[in-house]
Each structure stands twice: as structure tokens, then as C-alpha cells.
Homo-oligomer: A and B are copies of this chain.
């Protein structure tokens, strides 16, 4: 398993790659990768951390887009629906997917101090599937999030 979020990496390439993937996917599936949608994905890729819908709205406003919540929520809904972005339920925030369209059940590790978030792929889905089968429940999607301390905050705050 791998993770993006706690390690340094070639970030400009990272953004370009992800945008390219999204664009190609939209073209292939006749989806409209509009300026607003593209910009929101860029914001999330730039920060590489979870942003609230209103953080995003704020930035959109600065660039001249509409100033009402639906402007942000619509773009986010699109990006989530098509797998470019995940919602972090624990934070009511959104983060760019680290493995777009590799068909996965994401798991997130959320640092409660610095707020960084790493996405991992785990067999958690498999695990729940068995538990679900036992009671006859039909899983459609899973949410797996862990809260704790990231490597950096663990060492820094040995006193915490």
C-alpha cells in the first residue's frame, strides 16, 4: 500500500498529471470539465490537504466566480461523483483523490494536529463485505477514516 500526504513528492508534476487524467477521462466519457470544475480540482491538488467547501468558495470568489455556496458544492459534487475527489466525513472537507480511476475503496489517515490527510488503499472493503454478508446487508460504498498523529507530529510532539 502507498500513501500521498506524508511524503514529499514532485508536486507540480503531480498536479499536471492529475489534471491530465481528469481531462482525458472527461473527454472519453463526454463529461464537461468546465473551468470552475478544473479550478476546484487544482485548488485541492495544490494544497494536497482537505479543504472545506467554503474555503474553496472563497478562492473561487477571488477569481470572479459566483459567490453563493452552490457554486462550490456543484463543482465538488461533480468531482466526487466521478472519482476525482473524496469527501472526508470526519472533517466535512474534500480532498483530491490520489489514485483516480484505479477503482478503489479509499482509507484516510487524518492528523488531528496538523490536519494533513493521507489516502491509502486497503482491503477494508473485503473485510466489511464478509461482515455485511453475515447480516444480509448490501454495501454500496464504504467510509474508512483513521484519526491520530502523522509521522511529523508524532516525533515533534513526543510530549503530547
Contact = CB atoms under 8 A, between A and B. Distances in A.
A138 B142 contact: no
A1 interface: yes
Contact of A140 (B112, B122, B132, B144): B112
Interface string A135-148: 11111111111111
A3 B144 CA distance: 19
Contacts of A132: 109, 146, 148
Contacts of A128: 107, 109, 122, 124, 144, 146
9 contacts: A89-B89, A89-B145, A132-B146, A136-B151, A138-B148, A138-B154, A139-B148, A140-B148, A142-B144
A149 interface: yes
Interface in A96-155: 107, 109, 111-112, 118, 120, 122-124, 127-128, 131-132, 134-151, 154
Given A137-B148, A141-B148, A143-B146, A123 B127 contact: yes
A25 B108 CA distance: 33
A146 B138 CA distance: 9
A78 interface: no
Query: Top 10 nearest A-B pairs by Cβ distance?
Result: A136-B151, A89-B89, A140-B148, A143-B145, A139-B148, A138-B149, A109-B137, A139-B146, A138-B148, A3-B135
Interface string A61-78: 000000000000000000
A156 to B, nearest CB: 12
